[in-house]
Homo-oligomer: A and B are copies of this chain.
C-alpha cells in the first residue's frame, strides 16, 4: 500500500517531476531500429515521458530526436521533408539538423541571422542492439551507452518488439518482477508456448504455487529469487532482475532464450512495453523468430503497421470463456504478454495503491518501489547518481538454478546472475 502522495511520486514522469528526473538519468529505448530503416526516410512521432518528439535519420545516417513542434509557428515536424542533411518544416521550409540546430530559413534573407539564433529542443538518438536509445537529461551528466547484454550480442542472437499498454508504466513493470503470478495467470502457457515448453523447471513452477521469495538488493536494483522445492531436498530458484528505473529480466527455461522488458512511460496513463529475447551463446532459430513475431513467449501479437495488440481493451482482449473453462488459459486471454497487459490495464490508468493489500509474495514489488522513491528523492535532494546508470549495473542476467538447501542465494547465484560474453545462461 502507498499513500496517495507516494503513488503520485512514483508514477508521474513528466518533465519537472522527481520520477521524471530519475528516468531522464538513463538511456531510454524509444524506437526499434527498423522504424527508421534508411537515410532520409520518413520522420516518426515519438511520445516518451510525456514529451512529444520527432525522430529522424538524415542523409548521412545520423539519428536525431527533436521537439515535435517547429519553433517558428509550432507546426508539427511530422509533416516535414527529410532531405539533404536535415528535416524541413512543411509550412515555411525551416530546416533543422539532428541536433535541433536551425540550418536554413529559406523565406528570410540569409543576412538576417535568425537561423543562427534558433535551436530546437533535441536529444541524442543512438542505435544499439536493434534499438534506438535517447538520453533526455542534462548533457553534462550523459552516461556511457547502455551495455545490456541483449544489446551487446550479435544481431542474430536477439529479437526485440514493443507494444502500447494503456496504463501507467509502474503497474506494468510490477508485473515484470512478480514471479508469483506465473503459476496462475500463465499456467496454461508454460507447457504449451513454443518458447517456454519442454523445460524441466516448468514442473517445479506448476507443482509449487507457494514459492518462498528472497529479494536481494543489487548495485542497480534488486534481484528477486523465488524458491520452490526440487528433488533430494534441493531448491529450484528462479531469479528475476530489476534494474532501475524500469528494466526487468526473466530467466530462460531449458534451452530457450532469455527474456527482458523495458517499461517506458509514454505519458502517465500509457506506457510502451518493450520485450526482448536473446541467447548469449547461439543464434535464434527461424522457428523461434517466427514464433516471436507471431506473439508467442513474452511478445504480443500486433495489429499490422501499429504497436497496438490485436487483442485489446476495445475488444475485451478477445476473452474466450470456453478456453478459460477448459483450462487452456487461466484468464481466457490468449498469450502471455496480453494476459499481463489485460489485467494491468484493468486496474485503471494509474492503479489506486492506497487500496492494495500486499502480501509476502509482493516483497519484490514493495522493495522496488522503495528503491525508486529513494533514488528519485536522493537525486532531487543531493544529485546522487541513481542505481542502474553505471553500465556495470546493466551487465546482469536472470537465471534458473538448482541449489543445495544450505547454500545462500547470494553466494550460489552470483556467477549465474552475471552477464558473460558468449556464455550460455544458467537454466533449468
Contacts and interface: CB of A to CB of B under 8 A. Distances in A.
6 contacts: A74-B351, A76-B343, A78-B346, A90-B343, A107-B361, A108-B359
B356 A74 contact: yes
A210 B333 CA distance: 59
B356 A209 contact: no
B81 A324 contact: yes
Contact of A106 (B209, B331, B360): B209
Interface string A334-363: 000001001110111001110111111110
Interface string A180-196: 11011100000000000
Please name the 8 residue pairs, one residue from A and one from B, whose CB atoms are nearest each other, closest first. A76-B346, A90-B331, A93-B184, A75-B343, A74-B347, A79-B331, A107-B180, A71-B357
Interface string A74-113: 1110110100000000111100000000000111110010
A174 B112 CA distance: 23
B321 A42 contact: yes
A199 B49 CA distance: 50
A60 B106 CA distance: 58
A74 B184 contact: no
B107 A71 contact: no
A106 B346 contact: no
Given A347-B73, A359-B105, A92 B321 contact: no
Nearest to A109: B210
A110 to B, nearest CB: 9
Contacts of A307: none
A116 interface: no
Given A72-B359, A74-B347, 7 more contacts: A74-B351, A74-B356, A81-B331, A90-B332, A106-B184, A107-B210, A107-B361
A413 to B, nearest CB: 22
Contacts of A112: 359-360
A118 interface: yes
A107 B331 CA distance: 17
Contacts of A355: 69, 71, 74
Contact of A107 (B209, B319, B339): B209
Nearest to A357: B71
A336 to B, nearest CB: 13
A71 to B, nearest CB: 5
